Structure 1
Amino acid sequence: MGMRRKGREVATQTLYSIEFLDNDIRLLPEESALKILEGVAADKEILPENQIFEFASDIVRNVLIHIDPIDEKIKVHSTNWSFDRIAKLDLSVLRVAVFELLYTET
């Protein structure tokens, strides 16, 4: 499996895990998000110094930084579907995808 694909998978799983916290994702401190990422990565035997971890960390950090414009894009383009009805896993996948489309050269 490619490094970037695996990094996206870890980032998506981290964002999905964050959805189950009691706090609003917008209020989550970066350190807390990175601790969750470390747990997800550890389950897959990915060390913090690994390139996969670094790539996933970059995605998670930047999705959280740009969460409002990312969610707004999802809302605008999810016609006939309420944003609140989007499944948490689907929302995590969409957030990673929209982040990459808007903010990266991939």
Structure 2
Amino acid sequence: MTRRELREQIFKLLFRVEFNNREEMPEQTEFFFEEEENQADVADTAYITDKLNRILEKLTEIDAALNEKVEGWDTGRMGKVDLTVLRLAVYEILFDEEIPIGVAINEAVELAKKFGQDSSSAFVNGVLAKFVQEDK
């Protein structure tokens, strides 16, 4: 799988957190890979699962960072797709040194275009820009 395809799979799994307890995620991950459209080889499955688990470990910190940056919003009011895209991107920006910040933002905008509403990509881009502006 390409990096973009891997990221999309991680997004789909991370989206399930909104509808399941975090304790159920190992089982949800197993169900996910049993679906024909989500089947992946051993290396890709390991990469996806590992990154998902690292994001879940940092979820409280990620949500706190989002709530701090987004004026007039909080993670409880955001659309589920937008929130999931932002969680993935914020993880990559703050904690994943392998992913350049520009790539994390561009990929998040693409995920928002593909899975979100018409305004999702602009919202995601605006929120993530706040993370970059403060780093300068």
Give the TM-score band, short-chain normalised.
0.7 to 0.9
Distance 1:102 1:16 in 2: 20
Residue 34 of structure 1, CA deviation? 2.6
Structure with the higher helix share, 1 or 2? 2
Q: Which residue identity is paired with 2:9?
A: V
Kindly indicate whether structure 1 or structure 2 has the higher relative contact order, using CA contacts under 8 Å at least 6 residues apart: 1
- TM-score normalised by length of structure 2: 0.62
What are structure 2's unaligned runs of at least 5 residues? 100-136
1:46 to 13, 25, 39: 39
Residue 46 of structure 1, CA deviation? 1.9
The match for 2:73 is 81
- How many pairs align? 97
| Identity over aligned pairs, percent | 28
1:1-106 correspondence to structure 2 within 5 Å: 2=2, 4-21=3-20, 23=21, 28-29=22-23, 32-43=24-35, 44-47=37-40, 49=42, 51-105=43-97, 106=99
- TM-score normalised by length of structure 1: 0.78
The structure with more radius of gyration: 2
1:19–1:88 CA contact under 8 A, matched in 2? yes
Q: What SS is found at the alignment partner of 2:72?
A: coil
